[in-house]
Amino acid sequence: MSMLSGKWWKQSLVGSALLLAILLAIVAIVALAGSTTDMRILMVFLINVIAAISLQTYAGNSGNISFGHVGFMALGAYGSALFTADPAIKAIGIPDAPAFIREAQISFLPAMLIGTVIAVAVAAAIGRVFVRLSGAAAAVATLGFMVIVYTLLSNAEQLTRGSKAFSGIPEYTTLGWCVALLALTIVVARLLRDSNTGLGLRACADDPIAGQAAGVDILNSRYVMWVASAAGAAIAGALYAHYIGAILPKAFHFELTFVLVTMVIVGGRSITGAVAGAALITILTEVLRRLENGFSIGSINLSEAPGLTTAVLALMIVATLTIRPQGLVSRWEIEELLQRWQLRQKPQASARTEENHA
């Protein structure tokens, strides 16, 4: 850590800039050379990266997984969608909703803020329960939370049209919004991770007794990360709603939970890991989808086989975890990975020069 700078936040900013530079390069390549489909995949990828980094802010620092963040995404999505959709559409779709929602039509940023505030309020209210749990109990309880949000949304027909799609959401989400909010998420996540709170919490994830003995308030630190990560997830949810234009509770259920948690676990325990995991999962999904459309094995037409992509993806994840249980980048951030790579190069270089002398 001292190699780059004594001030911890400088390293966070350098790391964020490096990560952002790589992502911007990907964006530039796809924007210049990609088709319309590629652009759609890129947008979903960027939104997923925001969600994955947010989840990582809780999971990577606390060592606890959360299966509940998709619930926060749903709250952000519905919160933002309800206040932006055309009142004429809402008069038909949700005629029984309160007037202040039915007649509201505000712009993107305040609507997103409303969605985020709702998610943060819920996270703050229930967070104290989840930060006290760990391991499998935490996973199960947060999964329960996700099901609570899903049940509420798919039955509150007056407000959300229940399990039917809530459509007519203005498509505000542009590449610019995605990149700007992604940059914000990365910087905030890195600052939180490298701050005293994040450092102490990560120490406690490795050794809770030593960490607490050194004065880390594990519950409060986890609570901070929990609430912050809920905010990030809600922003990703709002971006998603305003990108697709129609949302339904089923979109924020088991499948998305699986995709997000996989990105975080396969990637490793850092912000860079969340990005790497998101990239790997997106690439795998797209390759499988294209194989599915392009090939047929014998008489079996693979494009008529729903579930095959998911099955292969899940099996590949099992394989990845078996081969590399610590995740793609383990616990390292991008600038640390570069340092380690340089250090690995140096001894070889010096060894080679000695050989030349001899």
Partner 1 sequence: MQLAFQQFINALSLGSIYALVALGVAILFSILRLANFAHGELMTTAGFTLYMTLASGWNWVLAVIAAIAASVVAALILERVAYRRLRNAQPLTLLMTSFAVSVALQSIFLLTFGARPKGIELPAFVDASFRIGGMRVQWLDIAIILITAAIVFGLTLFLRKTVIGLALRSAADDFQTTRLMGVKANALFVGAFVLSGMLAGIAALFYFATVPNVVPSSGFEPMLKGFIACVIGGLGSLPAAIVGGFLLAFLEVGSDALLSDNFSPYLDAIVFLIAIVILRWRPGGIFGVRLTAEQRV
**Residue nearer to partner 1 on the CB measure, 132 or 289:** 132
**Joined tokens for residue 25:** 């390069």
Site membership for partner 1, residue 110 (CB under 8 A)? no
Q: Which of 108, 113, 132, 339 binds partner 1 (CB under 8 A)?
A: 132
Q: Min. distance of Cβ 306 from partner 1 in angstroms?
A: 6
| Phi, psi dihedral angles at 247 (to 5 degrees) | -130, 155
3-state secondary structure 322-352: HHCCCCCCCCCCHHHHHHHHHHHHHHHHHHH
Q: How far is the CB of 330 from partner 1 (least distance, A)?
A: 11
Total chain residues near partner 1 (CB under 8 A):
47
| Shorter beta-carbon distance to partner 1: residue 95 or 325 | 325
- Binding to partner 1 by residue 203, rule CB under 8 A? no
Q: Which residue intervals of 245-333 are DSSP H helices?
A: 254-267, 271-294, 308-323
Binding mask 296-315 for partner 1 (x = CB under 8 A): ---------xxxxxxx--xx
268 contacts partner 1 (rule: CB under 8 A) = no
Residues in region 46-75 near partner 1 by CB under 8 A: 63, 65
Residue closer to partner 1 (CB basis): 106 or 315: 315
User: Residues in the chain, how many?
Assistant: 358
Please pick, from the candidates 182, 265, 281, 288, the single residue that binds partner 1 as defined by CB under 8 A. 265
Q: Give the one residue of 42, 236, 261, 271 binding partner 1; rule: CB under 8 A.
A: 261
SS3 label, residue 135? helix
Interacting span for partner 1 (CB under 8 A) from 30-38, 72-80, 88-96, 148-156: 148-156
Interaction between residue 339 and partner 1 (CB under 8 A): no
Backbone angles phi, psi at 300, to 5 degrees: -80, 120
**Alpha carbon 34 to its chain's center:** 24
How many Å is the Cα radius of gyration of the chain? 22
Determine the distance from the C-alpha atom of residue 49 to the mean position of all C-alpha atoms in its chain, rounded to a whole number: 5
Rounded Cα gap, residues 5 and 115, in angstroms:
38
With 0-12 / 13-18 / 19 or more C-beta atoms within 10 angstroms meaning exposed / middle / buried, residue 301 is: exposed
Is residue 13 close enough to count as binding partner 1 by CB under 8 A?
no
Q: At what angle do helices 218-244 and 175-194 cross, to 10 degrees?
A: 170
Nearest to residue 334, comparing CAs of 271, 283, 279? 271
Residues that bind partner 1 (CB under 8 A): 63, 65, 126, 128-129, 132-137, 139-141, 143-145, 147-148, 151-152, 155, 204, 208-209, 218-219, 254, 258, 261-262, 265, 305-311, 314-315, 317-318, 321-322, 325-326
